[in-house]
Chains A and B, each alone.
Chain A
Amino acid sequence: GAVVSQHPSRVICKSGTSVKIECRSLDFQATTMFWYRQFPKQSLMLMATSNEGSKATYEQGVEKDKFLINHASLTLSTLTVTSAHPEDSSFYICSARGASDTEAFFGQGTRLTVV
């Protein structure tokens, strides 16, 4: 399958700071990127969907000014958690899909801990 690389895998940051998470498709052009959040023992919660060159579409309840998503190229999308707080601590996962693909491929995930 196609490879999606997500970085960093773990990050610890202080409350009030911002954290950027990168998601790269290594061997295909990702026309659509999905960003998920997963709290312990819960399923994936879709935060937003982004198409290359367009503004992201956020799910209800997700603050677009707090979770900034940029999908400026066909191989890179970033999620920036701004002014992070302890309640933002979670497992963030991206997935990417090409124009002709049905399956979306997942990155490795990022464990964010805000202290």
Chain B
Amino acid sequence: GQNIDQPTEMTATEGAIVQINCTYQTSGFNGLFWYQQHAGEAPTFLSYNVLDGLEEKGRFSSFLSRSKGYSYLLLKELQMKDSASYLCASMDSNYQLIWGAGTKLIIKP
């Protein structure tokens, strides 16, 4: 079956670090995406992992463990503009994306 789970909402403080977890069950797994979506806007691409390990891009890092069906998005030095929904999506062997429901991240001063 195909399934994606991520927390519904998280709260963090400006300047801190937050980790958003995502677990997946995907037939023919072909990679894991993270997108950021501000309210009323389309998603914007953050990262793509297909191999195990951590990939860092500035303040954002993404980790994948294929054996565990697990990924996380790590956001450092949080800024108020990071308040958004973060969508986890896995890709199957047909290059179709299976979307999580999104994690709403609230940043407090």
Contacts and interface: CB of A to CB of B under 8 A. Distances in A.
B4 to A, nearest CB: 9
13 contacts: A1-B45, A6-B42, A42-B101, A44-B43, A44-B99, A46-B99, A93-B42, A102-B31, A102-B95, A106-B42, A106-B45, A107-B42, A108-B42
Interface residues of A, number: 21
B44 interface: yes
A43 B99 contact: yes
Given A97-B95, A102-B91, A43 B48 contact: no
A111 interface: yes
Nearest to B33: A103
Interface string A68-105: 00000000000000000000000101000100001111
Interface of A: 1, 6, 32, 34, 42-44, 46, 49, 91, 93, 97, 102-109, 111
A31 B101 CA distance: 27
B87 A44 contact: yes
Range, interface on chain B: 10 to 19
Interface of B: 30-31, 33, 40-45, 48, 87, 91, 95-97, 99-102
A93 B30 CA distance: 23
Contacts of B42: 6, 93, 106-109
B95 A103 contact: no
Contact of B48 (A34, A102, A109): A102
B96 A106 contact: no
Nearest to B31: A102
B41 A43 contact: no
Contacts of B33: 103
B105 to A, nearest CB: 14
B45 A43 contact: no
Contact of A108 (B31, B41, B100): B41
